[in-house]
A and B are shown apart, each in its own frame.
Chain A
Amino acid sequence: GESVGLHLPTLSVQEGDNSIINCAYSNSASDYFIWYKQESGKGPQFIIDIRSNMDKRQGQRVTVLLNKTVKHLSLQIAATQPGDSAVYFCAENGLSDKLIFGTGTRLQVFP
């Protein structure tokens, strides 16, 4: 079946370092990918998206990389801050026009 997975359930980084959160997707037909951030007690918040006709997209302090050859997606956060501590989800649109979310990676930022 369709699935979206993450390599690491928890990522710990020091404040100021760069963070890289990885995601593997299984559906080669997916053409739209999104990263969401969920802070404790809140709903997921859109961070950045990318379409399959691109391999890189940059936002403010964040970059998403898409490697369609190996079906891999990553989120890079530059100069990680304590406010970046959250669970990060990748999602793909799959075959059935509904978003399929990964299980999430918890990012912990230490001073």
Chain B
Amino acid sequence: KAGVTQTPRYLIKTRGQQVTLSCSPISGHRSVSWYQQTPGQGLQFLFEYFSETQRNKGNFPGRFSGRQFSNSRSEMNVSTLELGDSALYLCASSRTSGTTGELFFGEGSRLTVL
């Protein structure tokens, strides 16, 4: 059974640009959550999608957005990139929504903003 797949694994952008990251969940998983990981802040919750609906959202500015498709694949977008957006962006999938199901993480997309 394939795990959670994130693309691209690495990318470099400059300030002001925008970026789109993709996540393919484990087959049969309908919930996809996104996290930002930085050395200083640890793992910060961005948002969760379940059955194409945003179910929960963290405390990030509106420049961070996401969506989920009918096949459960998800994308997140960051517009007007800032230096502080440099981070590892992790996607996690689970069968159920909320926090009581086991989350399966991908290996992340490492974004560097110059």
The answer on a CB contact under 8 Å between B42 and A99 is no
Interfacial residues, chain B to chain A (CB-CB below 8 A): 4, 33, 35, 41-45, 48, 56, 58, 90, 92, 98-100, 102-108
With contacts A32-B100, A46-B103, A93-B99 taken as known, whether A101 is within 8 angstroms of B43 at the C-beta atoms is: yes
With contacts A98-B45, A99-B45 taken as known, whether A43 is within 8 angstroms of B100 at the C-beta atoms is: no
Interface flags for A74-95 (1: CB within 8 Å of B; 0: not) read 0000000000000001010110
A-B contact count (CB 8 A): 54
What are 22 of the A-B contact pairs (CB < 8 Å)?
A32-B99, A36-B105, A43-B4, A43-B92, A43-B105, A44-B90, A44-B92, A44-B103, A45-B105, A46-B102, A49-B102, A93-B98, A93-B99, A93-B100, A94-B99, A96-B56, A97-B56, A97-B99, A98-B48, A99-B99, A99-B103, A101-B42
Interfacial residues, chain A to chain B (CB-CB below 8 A): 32, 34, 36, 41-46, 49, 89, 91, 93-94, 96-104
The contact of B99 among A98, A102, A104, by CB within 8 Å, is A98
Residues of A within 8 A of B108 (CB): 43
Task: Specify the chain A residue showing the minimal Cβ separation from B108.
Answer: A43
The answer on a CB contact under 8 Å between A100 and B4 is no
The answer on a CB contact under 8 Å between B104 and A46 is yes
Task: Specify the chain B residue showing the minimal Cβ separation from A92.
Answer: B99
The answer on a CB contact under 8 Å between B58 and A104 is no
The answer on a CB contact under 8 Å between A103 and B107 is no
The contact of A41 among B42, B58, B104, B107, by CB within 8 Å, is B107
Residues of A within 8 A of B48 (CB): 98
Task: Specify the chain A residue showing the minimal Cβ separation from B107.
Answer: A43
